[in-house]
Structure 1
Amino acid sequence: MTDWLSGGWLPEGTPIDAEHVRGYVAKFTLPRLAAGSDVYTLACERMAYVLDHHDRAFVAFSGGKDSTAVLNVALEVANREPRLQRHLPLRVVFFDEEAIPQETEDYVRRVFARPDVAGEWLCLPVQHRNACSRTSPYWWPWAPEDEPKWCRPLPPEAITTLPGFPVWPPEERLTIPNLNGLLAPPPHTTATLMGIRAQESRIRALAVRRRAVDNYIVKHAHGRDRQAAAVDNGNVWKAYPIYDWRTEDVWAAARVHGWDYNKAYDLMEMAGVTPAMQRCSPAFGEEPLQKIHMYAQCFPDVWARMSERVPGVGAAARYASTELYGFGAKKPEKPAGMPWPEFITRYLAKHGPKEQRTIAARISEALTRHYRMTTDPILPRSPHPVTGLNWKYLLVLAMRGDFKHRRQEVKQLMDGDAASYWRKYTAELAELLAAGVTADELGHPRPLPTDPHALTPTT
């Protein structure tokens, strides 16, 4: 058994924590409820609550449609409520990610020209994930050492320094989430107004599924991140006032209220890019990588510079939606008889040492969670009906990583019912037993069950 998997096994006879299982499953199965009001009215109510209960607030602005909705809701509420006009002009923080269309730059400039907006145009070499290349897993927009390769000239409004932000050495540069504390020094409580919507992804839906009254207000937590802890004073909160909006709601609100918006969306629409695939920010991360080809089609000027700016972009544009990058239904086939842990280790070894440790810890965490809730084996294809884990999922983690913690195995159980998942799981296990597959090949620390159907719960 490989070392990186050793943390995943529970000793023989370890009891399963039933309460933990129930809580884990319930967390991901909360139903959608009708709110009895339209989403715009609810967003305004939430925005007023946030602005009332925080000393200060700022909009985390990307120039995209969702942050546009948050910006306009915040301005509407702050302008019409006298008690909230203390927040005007509204602070709007734009992180310029360098590899963006000219239309985004033009739009941000129009927003910052508004008298009720106090704009901050940050051009900092923040650390970004580069999923295009395993040998160059990060890139830094506006990095001074890469100035000849910059995709665009530095905007005249650019703020290029921030007290407490380390520029040298590059490996000490902070990510955008990690530097939030630098934007909101104590003692004031500060709300970061963000355009996070549950429809965008399952992991974002989970972020607002807690059983709490203010489920859209989240403490900015750094967890075990040393860099974030160094700049976080515990006074920053994240607020998602439009979390229940759908894409149609965003564009309907823009049309009904006459909002200005980023004209890059018009170019993507004319090119036939569906609303779900439209993206204005650089698509170099693990999940956005599938959309990178859109830039060459819609924004050829910036694409010409992007392809030289970040290692691996050219290959990603051609193969991002294939098994080479862990996307698509087809995955690499494991040689017959080879244990799954050994097969996955081969792909893990393709990353650099630091990334290997991060991904290995993530895989070990998933395995530990699985065996805390069940003693059943992990199968190649079928997600376990309680944990959602299977080896193909772990293979994708090994190939692509999950550096922003946006993937959860239980997400694989959100499109069906428990009975159907148990049928698929027991049928695959029966096939494997009939084919003579061993516990070692499945990476299972115990003998395989002889009767797969006996695993199905009776209630």
Structure 2
Amino acid sequence: MIVTKESKYTVVEAAYKRIENLFSNGVKIYFSFSGGKDSLCLAYILLDLIQKRRIDPSLLHIHFIDEEAIFPCIEETVKKWRKKFLMAGATFTWFCIQVRHFNCLNSLQDDESFICWDEEKKDVWVRPKPSFSVSSHPLLKERKDTYQQFLERIEADGITIIAARAEESIQRKKYMAKIGNVTLGGKCYPIYDWTDNDVWLFIKNHHIEIPEIYMYMWQAGASKKDLRVSQFFSIDTAKQLVKLNEFYPDLMERVTRREPNAYLVSLYWDTEMFRRSSQTRRQLQKEGGEEKKDYKREVLKILSNVRANFRTEHERKIAMSYKKLCIKAAPLIQEREWQKIYEALITGDPKRRMLRAVIQNIYSKARRET
């Protein structure tokens, strides 16, 4: 159960106090920096506290995992903050390492992962590595680790602060509601209770320079909740590829050379291949231009033979999780959830994010109706 309480502090004041409390323990503090809007807010607070001599910069170790396929303005933003933190006395490590990254475009091939900075594809990297970047580490399992697994291993002797917020998803809110005292190897979320409005107001009030891609996305019609910048090939962010030519004319060519299937996003973005249910598609269905699917029937058909319909063991494992849900909760699943399940099975759900969301929706509706 999630309980919300009023506080005598504003969310900004609370974030400052949480960070000061963490540093008062005298242990290493790791900061996973991304260059995105939330991360910039947390970076500003950290630097502000250092400059006011309220926290010890020698305890602060910033890690940036360069995912290769990132916007040029993100790279420039991170470089600027790297210089600021180094000048303030903190440690800043820029990793360009071979880690696995889930790639929704690879569902069309036999492999399931995008390898960042793949040495076997060095000639088609999206961009060159910065000269100061770190390319290896004794604790890294190259080409096997995700960056999350790698960071957990190297940050086990301290506390990691992350600029994640509960508002971004119900699953994250439930997870954060269960967090108790933070110990070594644990994670802390100083701005977990900030809303989108809190983030943008903080950026405005403190004149924080943001990557220009946010302005381009806003001008292109993205809503506030869609202003999220990440590696291009995850199912949540692949839609950014559609607008790439408008933002950076030469970048799409480099991305396509690195990942040939990237062109499919431009061709098929407004289809269920990328979990889209746009106004255009709904209007076509209404007018009879696109046949409306019986998603329940389609799901049951796909799950009737998991071994034949899914190529890899990982895909089959995910499919079995959905099959168990369908067997257990079939009477409670409504048309919208059947559609979500169908789209997840078609496009892939490697981290089970959609599965958790569907489960939450099904049982939340059931509780409201009883």
Same fold per TM (> 0.5)?
yes
| Counterpart in the other structure of 1:144 | 119
Q: 2:92 aligns with which of 119, 127, 148?
A: 119
Q: 1:252 aligns with which of 201, 205, 208?
A: 201
Q: Give the Cα–Cα distance (whole angstroms) in 2 for the partners of residues 325 and 137 of structure 1.
A: 16
Q: Give the Cα–Cα distance (whole angstroms) in 1 for the partners of residues 220 and 340 of structure 2.
A: 33
Identity among equivalent pairs (%):
21
Listed one character per residue, the Cα deviations across residues 263-308 of structure 1 (whole Å, up to 9, x for unaligned) are 3323333444333222332231122234432333323322221122
Q: Give the Cα–Cα distance (whole angstroms) in 2 for the partners of residues 112 and 323 of structure 1.
A: 40
Q: CA deviation at 1:130?
A: 0.7
Q: Within 5 Å, which residues of 2 pair with 1:154-165?
A: 154-165=129-140
Q: CA deviation at 1:236?
A: 1.4
Q: Is the 8 A contact 2:310 2:316 kept in 1?
A: no
Q: CA deviation at 1:412?
A: 1.9
Q: Give the Cα–Cα distance (whole angstroms) in 2 for the partners of residues 272 and 257 of structure 1.
A: 25
Q: Within 5 Å, which residues of 2 pair with 1:213-292?
A: 214=181, 217=182, 235-292=184-241
Q: 2:342 aligns with which of 369, 384, 395?
A: 395
Q: Which amino acid aligns with 1:204?
A: R
- Taking structure 1 as reference, are residues 348 and 106 closer, same or farther at Cα in structure 2, changes over 3 Å only? farther
Q: Which amino acid aligns with 2:103?
A: N
Q: Give the Cα–Cα distance (whole angstroms) in 1 for the partners of residues 170 and 244 of structure 2.
A: 25
Partner secondary structure for residue 199 of structure 1: helix
Q: Within 5 Å, which residues of 2 pair with 1:36-435?
A: 36-53=8-25, 55-82=27-54, 84-85=55-56, 87-88=57-58, 90-114=60-84, 115-116=87-88, 117-134=90-107, 135=109, 136-167=111-142, 170=143, 173-184=144-155, 188=157, 190-210=158-178, 214=181, 217=182, 235-328=184-277, 333-334=293-294, 340-345=299-304, 349=308, 351-364=310-323, 366-367=325-326, 370=328, 377-379=331-333, 381=335, 390-407=337-354, 408=356, 409-412=358-361, 418-419=367-368, 422=369
Q: CA RMSD in A?
A: 3.0
Q: Is the 8 A contact 1:59 1:70 kept in 2?
A: no
Partner secondary structure for residue 193 of structure 2: coil
- Taking structure 1 as reference, are residues 160 and 261 closer, same or farther at Cα in structure 2, changes over 3 Å only? same
Count of aligned positions = 352
Listed one character per residue, the Cα deviations across residues 99-138 of structure 1 (whole Å, up to 9, x for unaligned) are 1121111111111112124211100111001112311421
Q: Is the 8 A contact 1:180 1:236 kept in 2?
A: no
Name the TM-score, length of structure 2 as normaliser: 0.83
- Taking structure 1 as reference, are residues 271 and 379 closer, same or farther at Cα in structure 2, changes over 3 Å only? closer
Q: CA deviation at 1:309?
A: 1.3
Q: Give the Cα–Cα distance (whole angstroms) in 1 for the partners of residues 51 and 333 of structure 2.
A: 56
Q: Which amino acid aligns with 2:293?
A: E
Q: CA deviation at 1:411?
A: 3.2
Q: Is the 8 A contact 2:162 2:188 kept in 1?
A: yes
Listed one character per residue, the Cα deviations across residues 406-441 of structure 1 (whole Å, up to 9, x for unaligned) are 23224326987945xx3xxxxxxxxxxxxxxxxxxx
- Taking structure 1 as reference, are residues 360 and 126 closer, same or farther at Cα in structure 2, changes over 3 Å only? same
Q: Give the Cα–Cα distance (whole angstroms) in 2 for the partners of residues 306 and 355 of structure 1.
A: 26
Q: Give the Cα–Cα distance (whole angstroms) in 2 for the partners of residues 339 and 65 of structure 1.
A: 40
Partner secondary structure for residue 190 of structure 2: coil
Q: Give the Cα–Cα distance (whole angstroms) in 1 for the partners of residues 248 and 294 of structure 2.
A: 39
Listed one character per residue, the Cα deviations across residues 216-274 of structure 1 (whole Å, up to 9, x for unaligned) are x5x7xxxxxxxxxxxxxxx4111111111122211221222233432332333344433
- Taking structure 1 as reference, are residues 402 and 340 closer, same or farther at Cα in structure 2, changes over 3 Å only? closer
Q: CA deviation at 1:64?
A: 0.7
Name the TM-score, length of structure 1 as normaliser: 0.68
Partner secondary structure for residue 120 of structure 1: strand
Q: Which has the higher Rg, Structure 1 or Structure 2?
A: 1
Q: Give the Cα–Cα distance (whole angstroms) in 1 for the partners of residues 203 and 334 of structure 2.
A: 46
- Taking structure 1 as reference, are residues 269 and 323 closer, same or farther at Cα in structure 2, changes over 3 Å only? closer
Q: CA deviation at 1:192?
A: 1.4
Q: Is the 8 A contact 2:163 2:192 kept in 1?
A: yes
Q: Which amino acid aligns with 2:140?
A: F
Q: Which amino acid aligns with 2:92?
A: G
| Larger relative helix fraction | 2
Q: Which amino acid aligns with 2:227?
A: Q
Q: Which runs of 4+ in 1 moved over 6 A?
A: 329-332, 414-417
Q: Is the 8 A contact 2:63 2:92 kept in 1?
A: yes
- Greater relative contact order (Cα 8 A, min sep 6): structure 1 or 2? 1
Q: CA deviation at 1:335?
A: 8.9
